[in-house]
Chain A
Amino acid sequence: MAYTEKVMDHFANPRNVGEIPDASGIGEVGNSKCGDIMKMYIKVEGNVIVDCKFKTFGCGAAIATSSMATELIKGKTIDEALKLTNKAVMEALDGLPPVKVHCSVLAEQAIKAALADYYTRQGIDPEPIVGKIQECDHDHGCGCSDF
């Protein structure tokens, strides 16, 4: 298993690590049993995501995909952020080893969870807009779906 240079760059120098104290939305996906948790903070002004930060517990790919996902949505409109896919995160990193694809799914879901929280705080039901948040794509009875 080898990571691309971009993955290594985003792991070694992750962008946007940290918290936003007055965040407009916070999303958290994954769980400790599976070995990865991502927490995303977004700050929305008007219709634009003016800031985005993350904290991640996980492997190199989990940290790199979180970092890349924040880069991809920062400065974008909410509509643009809603369109972010795990594929786009993967492509931006020049690919991931097959066993690490789930990290990019988690990064996409973490962004969606932050957006869902943003809508909920506005008193808007997020599900019709954001869809269902899938917190774990693991299929080994880890009980992630119970979270």
Chain B
Amino acid sequence: MRKIYADNAATTSLHPLVLEKMMPYLTTVYGNPSSLYAIGAEAKEAVESSREKIAKLIGANSPNEIYFTSGGSEADNWAIKGVCRALKKKGKNHIITSKFEHHAVLHTCKALEKEGFEVTYLDVYENGIVKVEDVKNAIKDTTALVTIMYANNEIGTIQPIKEIGMVCREKGVVFHTDAVQAVTQVPINVEEECIDLLSLTAHKFHGPKGCGALYCRRGIRPEILIDGGAQERTRRAGTENVAGIVGLAEALELAISNMEERNSRLTKMRDRLIDGLLKIERSRINGDRVSRLPGNINMCFEGIEGESLLLKLDFAGISASSGSACTSGDLDPSHVLLSIGLPHEIAHGSMRLSFSDDNTEEDVDYILEQVPVIVDYLRMMSPLWEKIKEEERNN
């Protein structure tokens, strides 16, 4: 049976070249970068040259603006809690974010509400895009931080980050973006886009899991989140994940080197798949079709429930994901789908497919063959579909 991995927004395969670069640091060069002897120094050199590489690739002024973390969630937590707690001492207690951020951001904001912060959750409208004007209007004297994701993890919509960055710069407000989904899929330059802090993680672009980074512009001093040793210029304690860091830099370089070519290929595949799936009656695409990550497809099929769709897709060899309540162990469907105005019953029937370098046009053909059959089957046994059809007949 065909096997198609179409959940690259969840995580990606490790690129063989990345693994190759990581191997020495998992085997012979096991020294602690803080140690003085040769294999320690060699590890330290690997960490620092990776830092330099990453800084250049995202347009940072200096390698000293890159801090390694355990991943995207830690980078988000550190950026938001660190900046807000530091600025609270200066009387700033207001945060601006959007309704459809990743939980790493939303739950961090919720935690800060308990510490006395006021949080504005901006609308993302039907197209899943924050309005720059809304950001501008929400900023007040007490605003400590604006945090808006670069691209949404479920529906792939790309936000007007540069414009938001410019507004924040003009108003003198610190701006953080969770770019976990966007890095290597959208050209990013932190200087040109007025980004003060940016979170990224290696495993979304064929790097290893457990290693991410926070870009933090010189002059911005978030409070320390992880206390301990003097690593990361005393800002983030913990022995460096040397192999992970090397893998992160290598994966980033590889993925950016062929971004343009990949994006045009994936965009074509994405659009063909969306057009094909929209032929299924009572289906819809979620989020803006144009300002969208090249590999992201997020659709709803009325009358069916997402988890059963995923299980059926899995039987057919297709790995996908859903924003249905049942896949999250929650009672409510995805907050992202609700934030763009979908009613619960439609949001329950969602499916996300996300492509990477590993996917091909043949994958699109196979998915286009399988999904309509599965949707038909589930609708055939769905009393909700029966009702929908009955209403159709009555109107």
The chain A residues found within 8 Å of chain B, CB to CB, are 1, 8, 11-12, 14, 17-18, 28, 32-39, 55-63, 97, 99-100, 138, 140, 142
Contact = CB atoms under 8 A, between A and B. Distances in A.
Nearest to B325: A35
Nearest to A58: B305
B383 A12 contact: no
A140 to B, nearest CB: 5
Q: Across chains A and B, which 5 residue pairs bring their CB atoms closest together, nearest first?
A: A32-B345, A59-B326, A59-B307, A57-B384, A57-B382
A interface: dominant SS:
mixed
Contact of B383 (A57, A61, A97, A138): A57
A139 B345 CA distance: 17
Interface stretch (B189-197, B327-335, B351-359): B327-335
Most buried by B among A8, A39, A60, A138: A60
Contact of B305 (A12, A28, A57, A100): A57
Interface of B: 303-308, 311, 315, 324-326, 329, 331-333, 343-345, 348, 380-386
B305 A140 contact: no
Given A28-B383, A35-B348, A59 B308 contact: yes
15 contacts: A8-B311, A11-B308, A12-B315, A28-B383, A34-B344, A35-B326, A37-B384, A38-B383, A57-B384, A57-B385, A58-B308, A59-B305, A59-B306, A59-B324, A140-B331
Given A35-B325, A138-B331, A56 B344 contact: no
A39 B383 contact: yes
Given A34-B331, A35-B305, A57-B384, 15 more contacts: A1-B329, A8-B311, A14-B381, A33-B343, A35-B325, A37-B384, A56-B381, A56-B383, A57-B304, A57-B305, A57-B382, A59-B305, A59-B307, A140-B332, A142-B331
Contacts of A12: 315
B324 A35 contact: yes
A63 B331 contact: no
